[in-house]
Chain A
Amino acid sequence: MRTCLITAMFLLASAPGSWWVAFAQTAQQSDAVKDQKAVSPKELTGIWAVRVPPGVPWYNYALTADEPPMTAWAEAKFKANKPSFGPNPQEFPNDLAYGCFPPGVPRVYAAVQAAMQIVQVPGRVIMFFGRNVRQIYTDGREHPQNLKPLWMGHSIGKWEGETFVIDTIGISDRTWLDRMGHPHSDALHLVERFRRDSQDRLELDMTIYDPKAYTKAWTAQRSFRLRPPISELGEAVCEDMFINAAFGLKPMLPSTK
């Protein structure tokens, strides 16, 4: 059991598992703490804000501090990609995210101020990254055969003790792994291990398997902090920012005269 400094709590249906008890560390917090109930580590519902790990630039354009071990195939693709972040930022990027295409997974974890809302319902865990939604099936189904590429991949999840393990395949190779243009192939297999380490903290350990693009499997980590229940994800409308000029698409707004 650990003592946590807690500013936020969720009052949601309980799930089996061990329980934490929270202790106020300051007098100001005692009232808020009185209203709190312990939440199971198998309850992930809430809005979570990313913390960038040490070594990764604060604006979070890479998954790891070290270069991942690219194959020759991936090196060639990496050189052809024109990111706007990283050691070789381009004035005219060919990053599909600037065309308001979905970022894919795991790139959703390499965003500035990345926040996600997790919702747990029977048979599914749903993750919202603004308008980009991942459905992680927890009803015991397998990945489908002959899967067509999907922007956010096909995900199945299961609990291993208090760790939620997500297995994802079928991620469209039009997406990049991060904002500096590391590529992946259609063979990408992502395994994410989420663990609610304390009341307000969620730890993610992910492993990237893609033998076509990387000479060996590699891992990346992210940590998340729970936001207060009053938080909102906000309305994320990419088109407001980029109007897709990079892709020759013009805004078609009616005159506001």
Chain B
Amino acid sequence: MTPWAEAKYRTAKPVFGPNKKPAKDSNDPVYGCFPPGVPRIYLHRKPMEIIQLSNEVIMMFEYARLVRHIYTDGRPHDKFLDPPLWMGDSIGKWEGDTLVVDVIGFNDKTWLDRIGHPHSDVLHVVERIRRADHGTLEDDITIDDPKAYEKPWTIQSTFDLQPGVDIDWEGVCEDQRLADRQ
């Protein structure tokens, strides 16, 4: 982390990790029902469904009922993104068997993970998604954010194919928050 990120990290009140706080004291944006951002969306253990079309790949996440559109028709990033996005602006292209997804245009309100590591609005995420075998999807995720981290770093997420599972769209964050208060 850069000193800028260290300072921001100290203000985070996560419910996991070394600095964990009770949920009621947390300032984790997902407790305000905001989208978790990328790559954090992959850290929540709920299924995602991928739909592949001729011009885009759609990821549907049960967590936070999110839908992510990754455009693969050769369009560039949106140059006029204002305001920036919770889940970023994603474009993808195939390099052999690997779908390379380039994501920029994030706001700086989300955390990279559930323990409060921050990022800035210059965050640039590159995902390399490939099907290692029929039932396994691997995603090598590079996080490049020179304002928050001294050098780019990489994490890997792995997914298992779950035949016959439907996304459950009924989990409304606000409903849970209301129930928590009662």
Which residues of A approach B to under 8 Å, CB–CB?
11-12, 45, 99-102, 119, 121, 126, 128, 130-133, 135, 150-152, 229-230, 232-233, 235, 237, 239, 243-244, 247-257
Contact = CB atoms under 8 A, between A and B. Distances in A.
A133 B54 contact: no
B169 interface: yes
Given A152-B169, A254-B12, A237 B35 contact: yes
Contacts of B174: 99-101, 244, 247, 249
Nearest to B178: A247
B75 interface: yes
B153 to A, nearest CB: 21
A131 B58 contact: no
Contacts of A12: 53-54
A131 B32 contact: no
Contacts of B28: 252, 254
A66 to B, nearest CB: 32
Given A119-B53, A254-B109, A249 B33 contact: yes
Given A99-B178, A121-B51, 17 more contacts: A99-B174, A100-B173, A101-B175, A119-B51, A119-B58, A126-B51, A131-B65, A133-B65, A135-B167, A135-B169, A229-B55, A243-B32, A244-B177, A251-B32, A252-B28, A254-B12, A254-B13
A233 B78 CA distance: 13
Contacts of A233: 69
Contacts, number: 103
A253 B67 contact: no
B170 A150 contact: yes
By secondary structure, the A interface counts as loop
A252 B65 contact: no
- The listed residue with most B CB atoms (<10 A of its CB), out of A119, A230, A256, is A256
Contact of A256 (B31, B108, B167): B108
The dominant DSSP class at the B interface is: loop
A203 B54 CA distance: 25
A255 B178 CA distance: 24
Given A101-B175, A235-B87, A252 B27 contact: yes
B159 interface: no
Contacts of A230: 73, 75
Contacts of B34: 237, 239, 251-253
A233 B67 CA distance: 10
A101 B177 CA distance: 12
Contacts of B177: 244, 247, 249
B85 interface: yes
A186 B31 CA distance: 30
B8 to A, nearest CB: 8
B66 A253 contact: no
The 9 closest A-B pairs by CB, nearest first: A252-B32, A235-B85, A254-B27, A251-B32, A252-B31, A255-B11, A252-B27, A100-B174, A239-B33
A11 B109 contact: no
8 contacts: A99-B174, A99-B178, A119-B53, A133-B60, A133-B67, A150-B170, A232-B69, A254-B111
Given A151-B172, A237-B86, A253-B29, A131 B66 contact: yes
B39 to A, nearest CB: 17
Nearest to B7: A257
Contact of A252 (B26, B108, B118): B26
Nearest to B13: A254
Contacts of A243: 32
Contacts of B181: 248
Contacts of B27: 252-255
B97 interface: no
Contacts of A133: 60, 65, 67, 167, 169
A151 B109 contact: no
